[in-house]
């Protein structure tokens, strides 16, 4: 009998609705869709890290990672990343950023599976990522 617990990093803005940034139950950890918002500043609305794909992607990774860490997980535990882009022309650049980032993270196990699709996102946002992790 395990409980579902919310994973709420101190850096994160309050979700705009009754959902959790991440949840963990037993050995399953689910990260909600993250975007490139900077760490929350009280009294200010969520602000993207910048207008570029690179800035937003790196901030999105940082936001996913903060939730994983809150749940005692690392990138090595991630089974699946869902990457939502708004423009097929961003695929190559996203992959470059993705590869460089995960090189630097020092994965010790197989990289996660991934699906990338092209959708609409709120104005100003170029990327959204969610993740499913299975802890050891």
* Shortest distance, position 38 Cβ to a second copy, whole Å: 20
* Shortest distance, position 51 Cβ to a second copy, whole Å: 18
Residue 85, helix vs strand vs coil: strand
CA 58, 60, 65, 70 torsion-angle sign: positive
* Shortest distance, position 72 Cβ to a second copy, whole Å: 14
Give the C-alpha distances (Å, rounded to integers) separating 31 from 14, 50, 90, 133. 15, 22, 23, 8
41 or 79: CB nearest a second copy: 79
CA-to-CA distance for 64 and 74, rounded, in angstroms? Answer: 10
Q: What character string, x for contact with a second copy (CB under 8 A) and - otherwise, covers 52-81?
A: ------------------------xx-xxx
Q: 70 near 11, Cβ under 8 Å?
A: no
Question: Which member of 10, 14, 17, 44 binds a second copy (CB under 8 A)?
Answer: 17
CA 30, 34, 40, 45 torsion-angle sign: negative
Residues making contact with a second copy (CB under 8 A):
1-6, 15-23, 25-28, 30-33, 76-77, 79-82, 84, 88, 91, 94-95, 98-99, 102-103, 109-123, 128, 130, 132, 134, 136
């Amino acid at each position: 009998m395990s409980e579902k617990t919310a994973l709420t990093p101190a850096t994160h803005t309050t979700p705009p609705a009754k959902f959790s940034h991440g949840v963990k139950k037993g050995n399953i950890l689910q990260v909600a869709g993250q975007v490139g918002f900077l760490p929350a500043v009280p009294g200010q609305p969520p602000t993207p890290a910048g207008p570029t794909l690179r800035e937003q992607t790196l901030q999105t990774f940082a936001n996913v990672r903060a939730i994983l860490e809150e749940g005692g997980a690392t990138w090595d535990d991630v089974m699946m990343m869902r990457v939502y882009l708004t423009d097929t022309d961003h695929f190559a650049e996203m992959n470059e950023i993705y590869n460089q980032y995960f090189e630097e993270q020092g994965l010790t196990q197989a990289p996660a599976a991934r699906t990338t699709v092209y959708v609409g996102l709120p104005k100003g946002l170029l990327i959204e990522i969610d993740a499913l992790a299975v802890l050891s």
